[in-house]
Structure 1
Amino acid sequence: MKAIVLGMGLQGKAVIHDLEQSDLISRVFAADLGIDNTRAYLEQMGYAKTEAVKLDVSLEKDLAGKYMDMGVDIVICMLPIELALTAARAAMDAMIPFVSSNYTYQLQELDTPAREKGVLILPEMGLDPGIDLVLGRLAVDQLDQVHGLYSYGGGVPAMECADDNPIRYKISWIFDRVLAVYTREARLVKEGRPHVVPGDEIFSPDNVHEIEFPEIGRLEAYPNGDAQRYVEIFGLGKELVEMGRFALRWPGHSKFWHKMVKLGLLDDTPVSIKGAEISPRSFLTKWLTPRLQYTDTQRDLALLRVEAWGIKKGRKVKVTYDLVDYRDLSTGLFAMNRTVGFTSSIGALMILSGKITGSGVLSPAIHVPAHELLEEIKARGMHVDHHVEELD
């Protein structure tokens, strides 16, 4: 079978690597604007199944026709979210299933037409969202009543290299995207009611707490994204008291960025400086990006925790899943690339093998075989721990 991977950034490279290992895949098209760099990378890695293709999704007049001319059986999108809808609509028109690591957002508008055409669209197939949703399903299914569901996810420098810059952070994701969500409002359920944290308050001390990972230590968690939309997806009832999604960083991160947000240094409105127009956020992105890079011998660390608590057989219990992954120095793939890109690849392979079926816009929390995904990510070297404890 043939696959096309849109975007050869950090996550796209991980998808390519995983597809190369699959007996189900005979050919992969690596589609990107930078075809020379893509070819050089594929040659460097010695990939035998993958061919570089120059493609601009935003300008291609007949993207559906392009997919069909290539004879691809699945489209895997690792492009920025702004291009995901264009890529997915073309896949739908070509009657080809589509997988992405991006949040659903605008893709939801394709649900009805995709159902009518019998086309499967699977977004949110990454780390967070993605693996967290599948582990969340496993956790809540172990309870008779769910009173709370928390999800934590993040990428940080591994402990051995975390202290070689002043903010204990290095880049394993598009940095402008990271800074953009540092001013995005968060939606939680608190004391049984919807609760909104304004974008300029997510790093406020009142909204930050710490959790601890065995053998790693304490990390701080701040609210991240919209947890409320997952209440219905998980089928949670009126017994739900608390629900939240949180990002993880080394301690001190929130204190620093809270000040930066309050000073307006993450604003994206351009200002004029000596005749040049640039926004504070764009300047920070440009200035900090070369100063926050990993060396070839440094590892990042991807972390995920899902906690669900409630009632099981009349007893109060908490179910916890932890995932930990490190950069693979032999391939150069960061843990963040592996946990996002490998998961998208697994989703694509499950669709092609008939393990994920249906049509319309699907959700990993409902439609992905949870136990099988768990075994697949473990087989790729990710460590997952599960435990259940009784609460007082």
Structure 2
Amino acid sequence: MKKILVLGAGYVAQPLVNYLLKNTQFELVVADVHLEQAERVSGNRARTQAVSLDIRENEKLEQLIEQTDLAISLLPYTLHLQIAKACIKFRTPLITASYVTPEIRKLDTEAKEAGIVILKEMGLDPGIDHMSAMQVIDKIKADGGKISSFKSYCGGLAAPEANTNPWRYKFSWSPKGVLLAAQNGAKFFDKNQIVDVENDRMWEQTWPLQVDKFNLEAYPNRDSLPYISRYKLEGIETLVRCTLRFPGWVKTMAALREIGFFDSESQKSAEKLSRDKLLRQLLHIPNGTGLRQIFKERAGQFWTEEIEERFDWLGLFENTPENRHNENTSAIDFLVSLMIEKMSFAKNERDMVVLHHDFIYEKAGIRHNWLSSLIEYGRPDGTSAMARTVAYPAAIAARFILEGTINLSGVQIPVLPQIYNPVLQELTNQGIHFSDINKKI
């Protein structure tokens, strides 16, 4: 019997635990700072144990890691350095879905000396995007092709029947992470030139994209440049990794930024305020001119009837009482609270994940375009597409490491055939698979 430690019992944990429990040779310990959440995920099932763990209790963390054969962390990436060091100390393999940080990358030699793998970026994006891209890249190269352009797109969206609000977006978990990500800049490679996009100019680097029947909006996601070497695409002319949303998202985020809604400075009110007065306090707007006019002036070129409709629907212009006196509140936290209230998925509503790769390559003097697309929907049992596509790669990798199918050491991401071939095959077995079109152009 192999013991697996699952750190974190949040949104992704349930499908991960469900998958691993199908293997009768695994027993699981689910640890979370909130014991009731760990108990909910474990469900008091055979071969499961729920424990309370505050990650700051390093001694207890180390005890759990010492007693396990493999650890999976679903906790925020800021906690992974501590966890990785404990895994190296007790020679316990570690899997996470988070990006590799420079601090984690520095542990490569120590992990190799300990004979363990620290497998990062093993979710959806990053994760399935890497594996599916590398499988196509290696096939093209093996067939004598040379890739000149690679564009990769990914987004978590509402399924068509659930896409019912003016924002054309719904949240499966806290909107704050999405809003914080909307403040990032980006770098990518376009026609042999590095393009460096500041966040306040992101709206200039947005373009339409049709995937299957969906008309979407794409914009560059963070820094794509390191993936030229990670994907072994030296000499490529264009490489960009993008986020997908329905049209209008980027300009709406720009309007929110210009108005001041991304301000994270906390303020406290000593009295009960109306929404109008609270917003004036949080956004530093004097009394007098109406909020609608102030928002329009601050948003400037980004103000449109569509954005005004979105703000109206969210309730930003409603003058309702706000019971937030003696509470620390920031502009972004207030916005998040409204979004949670009005933009969360209702029971039985489905989400949707869209992942799309666009390759241009040349073979024997003829140009080709290889399109590879994954469209995954939430399940009727309530398991979201996002949770499944983040959880399953980590769970499958855990299984293959413990069974010996994946036998690596050091800090790794899933760009090697030894990882991506078996994991993608098992994802297909679980109903998560790509559709491909490869045509001459």
TM-score by length of 1: 0.91
Provide the residue aligned with 1:370 in structure 2.
420
Within 2, Cα distance between the matches of 1:268 and 1:116?
Answer: 43
Within 2, Cα distance between the matches of 1:344 and 1:34?
Answer: 22
Alignment of 1:154-165 (within 5 A): 154-163=155-164, 165=165
1:95 alignment partner, one of 80, 91, 94: 91
C-alpha RMSD of matched pairs (Å): 1.9
Provide the residue aligned with 2:207 in structure 1.
209
Provide the residue aligned with 1:199 in structure 2.
199
Instruction: Please say if residues 16 and 50 of structure 1, whose CA atoms lie closer than 8 Å, have aligned partners that are also in contact.
Output: no
Which segment drifts farther, 294-303 or 250-259? 250-259
Within 2, Cα distance between the matches of 1:365 and 1:199?
Answer: 29
Instruction: Please say if residues 157 and 169 of structure 1, whose CA atoms lie closer than 8 Å, have aligned partners that are also in contact.
Output: yes
The AA in structure 1 aligned to 2:159 is A
The AA in structure 1 aligned to 2:377 is Y
* Pair 257,81 (structure 1): closer, same or farther in 2 beyond 3 Å: same
Unaligned runs of 5+ in 2: 271-325
Instruction: Please say if residues 17 and 42 of structure 2, whose CA atoms lie closer than 8 Å, have aligned partners that are also in contact.
Output: no
Provide the residue aligned with 1:257 in structure 2.
253
Unaligned runs of 5+ in 1: none
Provide the residue aligned with 1:295 in structure 2.
346
Shift of 1:273: 5.2
Counterpart check, 1:12 vs 2:13: yes
Instruction: Please say if residues 152 and 304 of structure 1, whose CA atoms lie closer than 8 Å, have aligned partners that are also in contact.
Output: yes
Shift of 1:64: 2.4
Counterpart check, 1:49 vs 2:53: no
Shift of 1:119: 1.8
Instruction: Please say if residues 16 and 391 of structure 2, whose CA atoms lie closer than 8 Å, have aligned partners that are also in contact.
Output: yes
Provide the residue aligned with 2:153 in structure 1.
152
Instruction: Please say if residues 174 and 336 of structure 2, whose CA atoms lie closer than 8 Å, have aligned partners that are also in contact.
Output: no
Alignment of 1:91-170 (within 5 A): 91-105=87-101, 106-141=103-138, 142-143=140-141, 144-163=145-164, 165-170=165-170
2:394 alignment partner, one of 338, 344, 353: 344
Shift of 1:242: 0.9
The AA in structure 2 aligned to 1:342 is Y
Shift of 1:387: 1.9
Within 2, Cα distance between the matches of 1:315 and 1:188?
Answer: 26
Instruction: Please say if residues 65 and 94 of structure 1, whose CA atoms lie closer than 8 Å, have aligned partners that are also in contact.
Output: no
* Pair 40,116 (structure 1): closer, same or farther in 2 beyond 3 Å: closer
Which segment drifts farther, 2-11 or 352-361? 352-361
Provide the residue aligned with 1:64 in structure 2.
62
Alignment of 1:310-321 (within 5 A): 310-321=361-372
Instruction: Please say if residues 135 and 417 of structure 2, whose CA atoms lie closer than 8 Å, have aligned partners that are also in contact.
Output: no
Secondary structure in structure 2 of the residue aligned to 1:365: coil
Secondary structure in structure 1 of the residue aligned to 2:223: coil
The AA in structure 2 aligned to 1:268 is S
Which segment drifts farther, 334-343 or 359-368? 359-368
Provide the residue aligned with 2:74 in structure 1.
78
* Pair 269,201 (structure 1): closer, same or farther in 2 beyond 3 Å: farther
Provide the residue aligned with 1:237 in structure 2.
234
Instruction: Please say if residues 353 and 377 of structure 2, whose CA atoms lie closer than 8 Å, have aligned partners that are also in contact.
Output: yes
- Percent identity, aligned pairs only, is 28
Shift of 1:314: 2.7
Task: Select the structure of larger CA radius of gyration.
Answer: 2
Instruction: Please say if residues 264 and 280 of structure 1, whose CA atoms lie closer than 8 Å, have aligned partners that are also in contact.
Output: yes
* Pair 173,247 (structure 1): closer, same or farther in 2 beyond 3 Å: farther
Number of residue pairs matched by the alignment: 380
Secondary structure in structure 2 of the residue aligned to 1:219: strand
Instruction: Please say if residues 38 and 52 of structure 2, whose CA atoms lie closer than 8 Å, have aligned partners that are also in contact.
Output: no
The AA in structure 2 aligned to 1:131 is I
Provide the residue aligned with 2:293 in structure 1.
none
Within 2, Cα distance between the matches of 1:42 and 1:354?
Answer: 26
Within 1, Cα distance between the matches of 2:440 and 2:173?
Answer: 37
Secondary structure in structure 1 of the residue aligned to 2:58: coil
Within 2, Cα distance between the matches of 1:87 and 1:291?
Answer: 36
The AA in structure 2 aligned to 1:157 is A
Within 2, Cα distance between the matches of 1:234 and 1:383?
Answer: 21
TM-score by length of 2: 0.82
* Pair 269,242 (structure 1): closer, same or farther in 2 beyond 3 Å: farther
Shift of 1:329: 2.1
Provide the residue aligned with 2:178 in structure 1.
178
* Pair 37,121 (structure 1): closer, same or farther in 2 beyond 3 Å: closer
Counterpart check, 1:219 vs 2:216: yes
Instruction: Please say if residues 155 and 172 of structure 1, whose CA atoms lie closer than 8 Å, have aligned partners that are also in contact.
Output: no
Counterpart check, 1:388 vs 2:438: yes
Shift of 1:366: 2.4
Which segment drifts farther, 154-163 or 136-145? 136-145
Instruction: Please say if residues 201 and 207 of structure 1, whose CA atoms lie closer than 8 Å, have aligned partners that are also in contact.
Output: yes
